[in-house]
Structure formats: C-alpha cells, structure tokens
Homo-oligomer: A and B are copies of this chain.
Amino acid sequence: MARTEDMIAVQPEKAVAAEKPKQPRQLVRFTFYKLDPQWYLLPAEMRQRGKQELIDIFTDYERSSLMRSYGLYGLRSDCDFMLWQATYAVDDLQGVSSRIRRSTMGPYIRETHAFLSMTKRSVYVGKNARGAHDPRLVITPDDKKYLFVYPFVKTRAWYALPLAERKRMMNEHIRVGLTYPSVTLNTTYSFGLDDQEFVVAFETDNISDFLDLVQELRETEASQYTLRDTPMFSCVAHPLNEILEAIGA
C-alpha cells in the first residue's frame, strides 16, 4: 500500500517483494445459475435458440478458459446448474457474463450465488516440495462425477496462532484426508476479492466417502477454527446441453 493515509508515520522496511512467485496464478469463478420461471412460458423456438446460444458461449470460452458444467437441480433449491471457470484473464470472466447477458436467455437467467477466487501456493507446505512449475497454481479437475463446493472463513483466532501451530494442525487435517483416497481437494483463495477467505472444491465418485470425510474432519483441532463453511453445494457433472434439457429450459 503505497499511498495509505498513514504511510508517512513509518519507514518502509521491505518495500519490494522480490521473492514473490513469478508463475502466473489463475482467476477462478464458481457461478450458480437459476432460470426464471418466465423462461418456460416463452415460445419453444426462442427457447431453443437461447439454449444453443448458451452452449455456444460455453464452448467458445473453453478455448481460453477451463470450463466445466454441473447440475444442481434436485439437490439444492436455489440454483439449477453451476459453471466452473478458471483463466488467467479477468476479461474471460467478464466476457462470459457479458455474452450470457446479451444472449436470448440473458434476461431470464439469474446468478444466485458466485464465488471469485485465485490459485495460490499454500503457506503450510514448503516450496521446495515443488519444482519451478507449481501444479497448485493451475486448476486441473479430476472430472469425477461429483463436485462439492463451499466458501470457507476461519476465525481470526486462527491467524493469531504461531505458524508452527497452524502447520501442526493442518498436518493432522491432511492425514485424515489421505485416508479417503477417493476424494480430491482443490483450494482457491478469495482474501479481499469476495466474502469468503477460501473456496474449497472436492471431487469424488463416491458421495458417502465425502460425507464420512467431512464428518471425521469435524474432530480435528483445525476444525475448531472454522467460522463459516456454508452454503454447501452438491454438484453432479453433466454436459451443459443435458442439464438444459433436464431442467426443461
């Protein structure tokens, strides 16, 4: 913060951050959509055109972004489907939104939830563990059947603990996770960008394994420092055209 209101009072101790990682980090957005019931009352031809336009937008952005689609109808009431996008350019995020809004379906589709985040190296794992290219900075889905997504906020008491304490607790957390090899975790960071601190996204082919893992994690010491971990979204991988068909769009 160069020109803070208070910057005169102190001398800069380390004005450069030369050791920051140079590898680019991705912007990530989980956007949950719900169709306005008015859509269903429109002529079939217009709805067919609208669906095709939405699929075309999705396909176009697959070239520059990672794009995935998930259905939530029948599992969560406040949304019908979710698009998961990861990209290096904020223009890609704004572009998808702009194109959808200007499409035939635009006036009838609502973003009921959305989580904005970025990839980042974890402070709890030594950077020696990775080479020059850190795979944690690139979203690479396992493309399993289920994705479970929720925003995550830790208590401020957590951040007041010594780093070694936090590392010890995270290690316990990780050990529990490793006993569920069928579940994969992607963690991205939202500090300052959105209302949560992290977005966690678990992939698995086995719902009950995931449920059992989350219940078991409640008993870890780190879990005592959770401030918020809702809303929780159970998502099922489906091609976008099948989702639109299933919700009768």
Cβ of A168 to closest chain B Cβ, rounded Å: 11
| A112 CB-CB contact with B under 8 Å | yes
| Cβ B232 vs Cβ A156 within 8 A | no
SS of A interface (majority): mixed
| A63 CB-CB contact with B under 8 Å | no
| A132 CB-CB contact with B under 8 Å | no
In the complex, what residue of chain B is closest to A236 when comparing beta carbons?
B90
| A164 CB-CB contact with B under 8 Å | no
Binding site for B on A (CB under 8 A): 1-10, 12-17, 20, 25, 27, 29, 31, 36-38, 40-41, 71, 73-77, 90, 93-98, 101-102, 106-108, 110-114, 116, 118, 120, 122, 124-126, 129-130, 136, 142, 148, 150, 156-157, 159-160, 170-171, 174-175, 177-187, 189-195, 197, 202, 207-215, 218-219, 221, 223-224, 226, 230-232, 234, 236, 246-248
Please name all residues of chain B whose beta carbon is closer than 8 Å to the beta carbon of A184 when the two chains form the complex.
1-4
Cβ of A26 to closest chain B Cβ, rounded Å: 10
Please name all residues of chain B whose beta carbon is closer than 8 Å to the beta carbon of A112 when the two chains form the complex.
77
Q: State the number of copies, please.
A: 5
| Cβ A125 vs Cβ B95 within 8 A | no
| Cβ A36 vs Cβ B37 within 8 A | yes
In the complex, what residue of chain B is closest to A173 when comparing beta carbons?
B6
Q: In the complex, what distance in Å separates the CA atom of A207 from the CA atom of B118?
A: 9
In the complex, what residue of chain B is closest to A31 when comparing beta carbons?
B77
| Cβ A230 vs Cβ B195 within 8 A | yes
| Cβ B107 vs Cβ A40 within 8 A | yes
